[in-house]
Amino acid sequence: MIRERNLTTNLLLVIFTCGFYSIVWFITLTDDASTAAEDYTTSGATAFLLTLITCGIYGIFWSYKMGKMIYAAKERAGLNSTDNSILYLILSIVGLGIINYCLMQSELNEIARAQ
């Protein structure tokens, strides 16, 4: 079971910590999506380490994978869903990863409310 997280609080924490909180948010998003979709192939910490090791390349793939995982989780929860994996991929490529985080958190909050 995942819990709803305040999007504004997360954004403010990212700003006030000069981006360091985005690491925690990345890991939490990954773990929540894995739990909601019941797909435990990669933990949040592992995904973060792979992103560091590959100098961000895995992070681009992660965005696409998260779109697929969240889509599966929403379908599993019986919610109307659209596959945003391509949108997440494009935003990640052009350097707008923080928007991905916000969109992903919004969708995960919708799943949390439905549980």
Angle between helices 7-16 and 21-37 (to 10 degrees): 150
pLDDT at 98: 95
Kindly tell me the burial class for residue 34, based on how many C-beta atoms sit within 10 Å of its own C-beta (0-12, 13-18, 19 or more).
Answer: buried
Confidence (pLDDT) at 1:
85
Q: Say what the pTM is.
A: 0.94
Residue with tokens 């797909």: 39
**How confident is the prediction along the chain (115 residues), in pLDDT tens digits per residue?**
899 999 999 999 999 999 999 999 999 999 999 999 999 999 999 999 999 999 999 999 999 999 999 999 999 999 999 999 999 999 999 999 999 999 999 999 999 999 8
